Structure 1
Amino acid sequence: MDRQELAGFLRNRRERIQPADVGLPAGRRRRTPGLRRDEVAHLAFISTEYYTRLEQARAPHPSREVLGGLSRALRLSTAETTYLHRLAGVEPAVAPGPPRTVRPSISDLLERLPEAAAIVVSATYDVLAWNALACALMEDFSALQPRERNLARRAFLSPPVQGRRLYGVSDPDEFARACALHLRAVAARYPDDPETVALIAELRSRSAEFSDLWDDHEVGAQTVLRKTFEHPVVGPITVNCDALDIADSDQRLVIYTAEVGSSSEEALRLLSVVGTQRMNVPG
């Protein structure tokens, strides 16, 4: 336990939180920025004396419950919570399951990408959010039940369409392998999450391919940076594929963009107009 660093970290984060951030009145007589020690103690359900001793580097080893209360009171991020536990010499508790709620700011960002198809996927490949162009390029996710929006199920359990299983993409086998390897790491992070356990059990029982990949015990895979969608209306669309980690949520923002001036850019632009409605193609 690093008492000095722990004390400094708590003091620094306390001074960053404004009373209004936690529903407290600002008051007129605040000598220091941020919250007072007694306010943090109250929010964390510990005594003011004990919290004061923590900030003075004089307190005994805090329990996991105390650290959890402090994390909530100080509105710490996942990374900050992990750091707090490490300073106190306590291993952070294993998260019960991958977050499945998308931050409003990320949902807003999707709508601000009119020339890119973009989706947010969970650690277990659930499509959690999408923009209109993603629906036009891939599938109308809003018309599907939540379990049908899982890309792992789509990759391993859906029947092939024109020889390809996943939205007509050019790399279904590579994606399937990456999916299996990624899910093995996810299973280690969330061993007690019933949805994660059920998904993996379903894939292992219904897909011999997934079962074989799972039994290889490999972890990690290379990211495919470019792929082609064989779209049934506008034809092939080759796009760059960038997957960006979303901080503190174990989610990824996947963005598909076409090269400037390419025929694929024109096709995406056409899809942005057509949307999910089928075009009347002569012949």
Structure 2
Amino acid sequence: MDETLGTALRRWRDRLSPLDVGRPARPGRRAAGLRREELADLAGLSVDYVVRLEQGRATSPSAQVIASLARALQLQPLERDHAYRLAGLLPPQEGTISTHVPAGVQRMLARLGEFPVGVFSADWTLLSWTPAWAALLGDPSARTPTERNLVRAVFATGPGGLAAWPVLPEGDALNPALVADLRTALVSYPHDRGLISLVEELRSTNAEFTRLWDEGAVGPHVSARKTVVHPQVGEVMCDCDVLTVPGCDVRLVVYTVAAGSADAEKLEFLRVASGVRADGPSPPGPSLFSAP
């Protein structure tokens, strides 16, 4: 029997341990791998849609849906491309930005649940996040993929525009670094229409972006101190670090606070209030795309 997208999804789902995605392995659990409900939650899909995909009743999933499932199932690049082909789609082409998050990064993210961590693609679109990220900065799941782009948010609304409430930086190193990143990404991904459109959009609508771009702005990402003005706990002063992953073009943005400080108490309150576990794995936020 020829393999279908449904049979492949079931096989990939069965091989994942709940612990691999930050879910507790409770005693008496019958399912060997992930339940459909867990896959749906991780991928930002409805359970009914996952059921229809596995049963072959949903026959035309979009590329966004396949990308979301590939991240949730922690597929390797060749497996991801196989999933695209089973869905009747072309895999992502060379010269375009990948939204693939390596399995190792996803496992690490699942075990960093107590820290606010966001995973971004080469064009600074938020791909995934920990529950603590949503607790500190606001839940990104209500935003569209366009609204989850940090560069667009920063230059459209000012520093911290991706957050649901103000994030006030110390210093002005972020904007030149973001422009430099987009310039580098254009060299690496010259055929990515989304990236080209983003640069064209900002050059035509934002004077500061245009100035930095025309000046050939360069600037590495450095550790920075930022103040999050949270509606429940007020100001939370955090250190923000950008970590790159060798071998793939994703970066992790990590917020931390000094142990034993008032800021640590505020972050702990937000974690508890949102149900984030500090004593074990917590599931990462949903994938970039939502679907039926």
TM-score, scaled to structure 1: 0.59
- Closer, same or farther: CA 76–145 of 1 in aligned 2, 3 Å: closer
Q: CA deviation at 1:178?
A: 1.8
Inter-partner Cα distance in structure 2 for 1:246 and 1:95: 19
Partner of 2:266: 267
2:110, 2:160 → 1: CA distance? 29
Q: How does 1:134-149 map to 2 (within 5 A)?
A: 134-149=133-148
Give the 4+ runs in structure 1 shifted more than 3 A: 163-167
Q: Is the 8 A contact 1:225 1:240 kept in 2?
A: yes
Map 1:1-283 onto structure 2 (within 5 A): 95-158=94-157, 165=161, 167=163, 168-171=166-169, 173-275=172-274
What amino acid is the match of 1:171?
Answer: P
RMSD (Å) for aligned C-alpha atoms: 2.6
When structure 1 is superposed on structure 2, of 206-215 and 236-245 the one drifting more is 236-245
Higher relative contact order (CA 8 A, sep 6+): 2
- Do the aligned partners of 1:95 and 1:189 also contact (CA within 8 Å) in 2? no
- The one-character-per-residue Cα deviations of 1:56-104 (angstroms, maximum 9, x if unpaired) are xxxxxxxxxxxxxxxxxxx999xxxxxxxxxxxxxxxx94122212123
Provide the C-alpha distance between the structure 1 equivalents of 2:216 and 2:97, rounded to a whole number of angstroms.
Answer: 21
Aligned position for 1:29:
none
Q: Which runs of 5+ in 1 are unaligned?
A: 1-74, 78-93, 277-283
CA distance in 1, matches of 2:113, 2:144: 25
> What percent of counterpart residues are identical?
36
Matched positions, count? 183
Amino acid at match of 2:168: S
Q: Choose 1 or 2 for highest CA Rg.
A: 1
Indicate if the aligned counterparts of 1:203 and 1:211 stay in contact, CA closer than 8 A. Answer: yes
Q: So what's the TM-score if we normalise by structure 2?
A: 0.57
How far off its partner does 1:164 sit?
6.6
| SS in structure 2 at match of 1:170 | strand
For the residues of structure 2 that align with 1:120 and 1:76, how far apart are their CA atoms?
A: 18
AA matched with 1:252: R
Q: Is the 8 A contact 2:174 2:221 kept in 1?
A: no
What is the distance in 1 between the residues matched to 2:273 and 2:176?
33
1:194-250: CA deviation from partner (whole Å, max 9, x where unpaired): 111111111111111111111111223341332221212111111222222122221
Partner Cα distance (2:167, 2:144) in 1:
22
3-state DSSP class of the match of 1:100? Answer: coil
| Residues in 2 aligned to 1:106 and 1:188: alpha-carbon distance in whole angstroms | 25
